[in-house]
Amino acid sequence: MVLTPNIPVCRCRYQTLSKPIHLTLDPTTRFLLIGNSGNDSIARYEFATKTCLLLVPPGACDLDGPAGMAFGRDGAFYVASRLSKEVLRFRFDHGQAIGRAFITRLEDNPEFLLSVTL
C-alpha cells in the first residue's frame, strides 16, 4: 500500500478520532486498536473492511489519557490510563465495553503495556 499525504486510507464511522496515540493488534491480528487521546477513547480498525469503529467510548471507566494497551491470557483488554494513574481492564459483552480499575494509585503515569506468555 502506498500512502499519499492528505489522502485518507480509511474513514472512521465516528468523527472524533483525533490525536491517536499508542497502537496494538488484537490476538487475531484482524484489528488494530488505536488509543485516542483527543477524547479518551479506543477505536478499532478492521483491516479486511478498512472500517474504524468506537470500541471503548470516551471516558469509559474514567479512562483519561489512554496509553499502552494489551490483551491478557484471561481474554481481557488492558489499557494504561496515564492521567488517572491506573491500569483499566475491559471485557466485552454483546459489543459493549465493561471496564473497571485493575491497578490504581500508581505513583507515575503508566505508559506502555506488554502481554508476555511463557
pLDDT tens digits for 56-114? 988 888 999 999 999 988 889 999 999 999 999 998 776 677 889 999 999 999 988 87
pTM, 2 dp: 0.81
Please give the Cα distance from 111 to 51 (Å, whole number).
27
If one looks up domain 11-103 in CATH, what number appears?
2.40.10.500
Identify the pLDDT of residue 91: 87
Edge to edge, the sheet with strand 31-36 lists: 11-12, 51-56, 41-46, 31-36, 20-25
Q: Residue 35 pLDDT > 60, yes or no?
A: yes
Per-residue confidence (pLDDT) for residue 67, from 0 to 100? 93
Model pLDDT, residue 6: 44
What is the average per-residue pLDDT within 7-19? 60
- Return the bridge partners of 11, or none: 51
Three-state SS letters, 2-52:
CCCCCCCCCEECCCCCCCEEEEEECCCCCEEEEEECCCCEEEEEECCCCEE
| Domain locations along the chain | 11-103
- The percentage of the chain sitting over the pLDDT mark of 90, rounded to a whole number, equals 43
> C-alpha cell of 103?
491497578
Q: Looking at residues 20-35, what average pLDDT do you find?
A: 91
